């Protein structure tokens, strides 16, 4: 239903309830709930769940990401809008392949990154993997339109061996919050998202180091690994990339609170030359502020 299908007084009541529950963007959230719900009883149930502290995306059952409506099931990591910056950089690099890019989305969660990247490319060969069964079920729905394959398992373990040495774009939305800081995250994350999607170990980079160490075996010549990190972790993240034998560069979007590290198998190709034009910079914060999925 549309927002206009409900009486104005109904919208006002929803806004009041959400605002009383502490929702900063109560008006926007009310409109999203009213446009998603099919009946007044569904509106009531959704408002109650949101007021109880569930993430808006889990209440709605979807999140907007790079123009797509991504299905997000309860407990599954909600794609952050700042991560669109990573996908934008990946799209620029994928287009340089001059053919159907082979893309792997590790720690894929809902599959948002792979699905969004594939949607922006003319041709793509898409694979994704996650250790969380709930995330895998969700991702399979989201990458279906791109003909993507989703595997359940730990990082590279479930991927077919035929991908070794063929991956043009390796997206790795790894958890990078230090274990001791997970408890400081907003309740929407620490309570309602799987800890495995948040906890990056003692310094937040345990999973990343495993990803970078094995990346060269999977990347094609001139292939690229892309992942997010925080400003304070940039030096250690770059070190991990370089220890794996990749050339690291850092790009950031200060407005979007996004810091992305790109590791490239440099072999003097056109793709590598274009990638080197991406300039180094820095950006803030682990999770950063986020507005609702308007």
3-state SS string over 61-95? CEEEECCEEEECCCECCCCCHHHHHHHHHHHHHHH
- Token readout for 173 is 């939305």
Please work out, in degrees rounded to the nearest 5, the angle formed at the alpha carbon of residue 61 by the alpha carbons of 28 and 252. Answer: 65
Q: Let me know how long the chain is.
A: 294
In angstroms, rounded to a whole number, what is the distance separating the alpha carbons of residues 212 and 91?
20
How much is the pTM? Answer: 0.85
What is the pLDDT tens value at each position of the chain, 294 positions in all?
Answer: 555 566 566 789 999 999 999 989 999 999 999 999 999 999 999 999 999 999 999 999 999 999 999 999 999 999 999 999 999 999 999 998 878 999 999 999 999 999 999 999 989 999 999 999 999 999 999 999 999 999 999 999 999 999 999 999 999 999 999 999 999 998 889 999 889 999 899 999 999 999 999 999 999 999 999 999 999 999 999 999 999 999 999 999 988 889 999 999 987 533 343 344 443 433 333 444 333 443
Residue 219: phi and psi, rounded to 5, are: -75, 145
DSSP annotation of 100 reads -
In angstroms, rounded to a whole number, what is the distance separating the alpha carbons of residues 274 and 237?
22
8 A C-beta contact, residue 185 and residue 198: yes
In angstroms, rounded to a whole number, what is the distance separating the alpha carbons of residues 167 and 221?
9
8 A C-beta contact, residue 47 and residue 24: no
Q: Please, what's the b/e burial string for 72-100 (b: 16 or more CB within 10 A of its CB; e: otherwise)?
A: bbeebbbbbbbbbbbbbbbbebbebbeee
């Amino acid at each position: 239903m549309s927002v206009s299908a409900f009486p104005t007084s109904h919208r006002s009541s929803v806004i009041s309830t959400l605002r009383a529950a502490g929702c900063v963007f109560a008006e926007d959230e009310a409109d999203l709930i009213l446009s998603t719900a099919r009946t007044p009883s569904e509106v009531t149930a959704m408002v109650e769940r949101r007021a109880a502290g569930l993430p808006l995306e889990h209440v709605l059952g979807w999140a907007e990401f790079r123009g797509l409506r991504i299905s997000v099931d309860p407990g599954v990591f909600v794609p952050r809008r700042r991560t669109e910056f990573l996908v934008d950089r990946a799209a620029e690099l994928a287009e340089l392949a001059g053919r159907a890019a082979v893309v792997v989305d590790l720690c894929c969660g809902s599959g948002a990154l792979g699905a969004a990247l594939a949607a922006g490319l003319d041709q793509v060969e898409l694979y994704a993997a996650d250790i969380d069964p709930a995330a895998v079920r969700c991702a399979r729905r989201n990458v279906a339109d791109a003909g993507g394959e989703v595997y359940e398992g730990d990082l590279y373990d479930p991927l077919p061996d035929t991908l070794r040495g063929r991956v043009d774009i390796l997206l790795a939305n790894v958890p990078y919050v230090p274990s001791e800081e997970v408890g400081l995250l907003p309740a929407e994350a620490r309570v309602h998202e799987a800890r495995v999607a948040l906890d990056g170990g003692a310094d937040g980079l345990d999973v990343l180091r495993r990803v970078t160490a094995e990346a060269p075996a999977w990347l094609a010549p001139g292939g690229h690994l892309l992942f997010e990190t925080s400003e304070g972790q940039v030096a250690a993240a770059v070190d991990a990339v370089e220890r794996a034998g990749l050339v690291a560069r850092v790009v950031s979007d200060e407005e979007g609170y996004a810091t992305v590290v790109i590791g490239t198998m440099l072999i003097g190709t056109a793709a590598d030359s274009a990638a080197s034009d991406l300039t180094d910079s820095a950006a803030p914060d682990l999770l950063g502020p986020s507005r609702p999925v308007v």
